[in-house]
Amino acid sequence: MIQSRMGESTSRIVLFAVAVVGAAAIALAPNPAGLSVRGQYAFATMFFAGLLWVTGALPLAVTAISIPFVLTALGVYADLDVALVGFADHLIFLFIAGFMLANALQKYDIDRRIALWLMARMGTSPERLVGAVMLATAFLSMWVSNTATTAMMTPIALGVLTQVIGSEGVQAASASADEVDSDVAADGGAAPASGGVSGLGTDDGFSNLQVSMLLGTAYAASVGGVGTLIGTPPNAILATQLNELLDYNISFGQWLAIGLPVVVVTLPIIWYLLTHRLYPPEVSDVEGAREEAERYLAEEGSLDKRGRRVAVIFTVTATLWVVGGFGDLIGGYFPDAVAVTLFGGSGMGVGGVEGHQGVLYYVMVGLAAIPALVLADTMEWDELVDIDWGTILLFGGGISLAGALESTGATEWIADIVFSSLTDVPIVVVVASVVLLIIFLTEMTSNTATSAIIIPLLIGVGGVFSTTLGLPEVAAAVFLATSGAIAASFAFALPVATPPNAIVFGSGYLKQEQMMRAGIVLNLLMTVVLTGLIWLLFQFVWPVVLW
C-alpha cells in the first residue's frame, strides 16, 4: 500500500513537471504569426491545465483553481480579481441550486421511489425490465448527477436481478464485488445472509440479463443527463462558456427542446441493441423481479409531510424552469409590466423600476428553491451544503481559462489552424467530425475534462464555419459547441470515459471486454445517429429555440 502511494505520488509529480515544462516551452517559444503574446501565454495555460485534466495527475478541481494563478502569473490577466470572476458566474449558482435540490430528493428517497415504481409497473418481461431500469435511470439523471444516480441504481438492479436468475446466478468478477454486496444489503437488497449477492470469484461467466441491465444502467445515466441543462457537467460547461465568451444564454426550456429529443431517440436504440442484439436475456419469467420491486417500494412506505413538501418544491421549480424559458412565446399574453417582471426586459416592471432580470429566469428560480426547502422545514444547512464542490470549482476554472483564450484571440487562432481545412466540406461531415472527435477523446479521459478543453475551441470555430453553415458567427458557434457537448455523453466503451461506466465496472459484476464489445458498437452507431439527429435539429428545431 505504501509503495503504491509512493508510486502514485511520484507519477503525479512527474506529470505536473511535464505540464509546467511544456507550458513554459510554449510561453517562451517564438511568437507565432497572428497570435498575441498574451494569447500565446493563454495557450500555454491551456496546455498546462489540459494535460493535468486529461491525465488526472491532480483532481480536476485542484487544476481548476490553479488556472487563475497561472493566468495572472504569466500576465494574461493584469489583476487576479479578473481571473477569479469566472468562479462567481451566475450560472454556477444554478448548478449549486440543482445539486442542493438533488440532495433533498435523495434525503427522502424520492428518486428511489420513482425508480422502483417504474420497475414494478413496466417489468413484465426481461427486456422491459431492463427498459424500466434504463428509463428510471435516465429520468433521474436529468435532475440528479449521473454519478449519484448510477450509484443508487446499481445495487437496486443487482437486488432485483437475484429474483430473476437467483443469487447464485448473479456472478461477480472479483472480490471488489464485496463492496457492492454491502451496498445492496444497506439499500434493502435481496442479498443472502451468508454473503450477499453471491457467486463471488466464480469463473462461470455472466448472465446476459445481468450484463444488459448493468450496461443499460450506466449508459442510461449518461444519456439521460443530456436531457436538461443541469443533468451533466458538459451541459454546464457549455452554458457557462457560451455566457462567458459570447454573452449568450441558453435557457432551461431551450435546452430541454434540444436535449430531450436526443434522449428520446437514442435511449430506445441503446436499449434495443443491448437486449435484442448484443446481450439478449436468456430468461422469460421476471415476476419475481416485479414482486421484489414492489416489496422494496412497500418498505419505503408513503412519503411523510416533509417528503411531500420536497416533491412539491421540486415540481414547482422544474415547471418554472421550463416556463421561464419560453417568455418570448407567452410573454405577450401578459401586461407589459408583468411580462418584464416575470421574463425580464428593458421596460418598466410592476415595481416602477426600468429594466429587470425576470424572476422566472432559471437561475433566479433555482436560488429561490433553496430557502424554500429550509422554510418548509425539509433541509438543514449541513445537508444542503453536502454537494460536489469540486465540480463547481471546475466550472469556475473552465470559465476563467475560456475567457482568457477568447479575450487574447487564442481560441480563434487555434480554431483557424485546426479546423480551417474543413470549411468547404458539407455540414454533415463537420458535425460527424466533431461528434467522432469528442467521443474518441472522451473514451481516453473524463467527459468533463474533455468538454472543458474542447468546448471553448468549438465556440471559437464559429467564425470559421459561419459561411459554411449559412449562419451568423454566434449562431454557428452555439451550434458546433452544443454538438460537442451532446457528444461528450456518448462514450460507452471504457470505464474511464464517464463516472457511470466506472461505477458499474467497479462493482465487479461486469467484465471490461463486455463493456468494450457493447461500447464500440454503440460508439460507432451513435456517431451516425447523433450526426443525423443533430443535423435534423439544426434544420428544424434550433432556428426556433436557439436563435
In a shared domain, residues 190 and 147: yes
Single out the residue in 384, 401, 421 at which a domain terminates: 384
Q: Are 349 and 337 in contact (CB under 8 A)?
A: yes
State residue 114's pLDDT score.
87
Check residue 127 and report its DSSP letter: H
State residue 175's pLDDT score.
36
State residue 547's pLDDT score.
61
Whole-Å CA distances, 174 to 182, 205, 377, 511: 15, 12, 44, 10
- Measuring CA to CA, which residue among 328, 382, 396, 452 is closest to residue 86? 396
The answer to the question of residue 392 being in a domain is no
In a shared domain, residues 33 and 150: no
Query: Grid coordinates in use for 341?
Result: 417582471
In a shared domain, residues 334 and 211: no
- Measuring CA to CA, which residue among 143, 428, 434 is closest to residue 263? 143
Helix (H, G, I), strand (E, B) or coil at 148: helix
The answer to the question of residue 474 being in a domain is no
Single out the residue in 340, 369, 384 at which a domain terminates: 384
Q: Are 507 and 197 in contact (CB under 8 A)?
A: no
In a shared domain, residues 173 and 279: yes
Q: What is the mean pLDDT of each run of 10 residues along the chain (547 residues)?
A: 65 94 95 90 92 86 94 94 90 88 90 85 84 93 88 85 64 44 35 31 63 95 94 90 87 89 97 95 75 83 93 93 81 89 89 88 92 96 90 87 86 74 77 89 81 86 75 86 94 87 85 92 95 90 76
Cα end-to-end distance, the chain, whole Å: 55
Query: Grid coordinates in use for 369?
Result: 428553491
The answer to the question of residue 138 being in a domain is yes
Helix (H, G, I), strand (E, B) or coil at 490: coil
Total domain count, the chain? 3
In a shared domain, residues 111 and 5: no
Stretch (H or E) spanning 347? strand 345-348
Helix (H, G, I), strand (E, B) or coil at 471: coil
The type of residue at 204 is D
In a shared domain, residues 131 and 252: yes
- Measuring CA to CA, which residue among 5, 20, 16 is closest to residue 58? 16
- Measuring CA to CA, which residue among 124, 128, 210 is closest to residue 167? 210
The answer to the question of residue 428 being in a domain is no
What residue numbers bound the domain in which 314 lies? Answer: 310-384
In a shared domain, residues 292 and 143: yes
The answer to the question of residue 63 being in a domain is yes
In a shared domain, residues 58 and 146: no
Single out the residue in 85, 113, 129 at which a domain terminates: 85
For residues 71-81, one letter each, b for 16 or more C-beta atoms within 10 angstroms of the residue's C-beta and e for the rest, the string is: bbebebbeeee
Q: Are 482 and 258 in contact (CB under 8 A)?
A: yes
In a shared domain, residues 128 and 224: yes
In a shared domain, residues 378 and 318: yes
Q: Are 44 and 33 in contact (CB under 8 A)?
A: no
The answer to the question of residue 389 being in a domain is no
In a shared domain, residues 65 and 168: no
Q: How many CB atoms lie within 10 A of CB 216?
A: 29
Query: Grid coordinates in use for 78?
Result: 493584469
In a shared domain, residues 1 and 104: no
Please tell me the distance from the alpha carbon of residue 474 to that of residue 471, in angstroms, as a whole number: 8
Check residue 170 and report its DSSP letter: S
Query: Grid coordinates in use for 230?
Result: 443541469
The answer to the question of residue 406 being in a domain is no
The answer to the question of residue 476 being in a domain is no
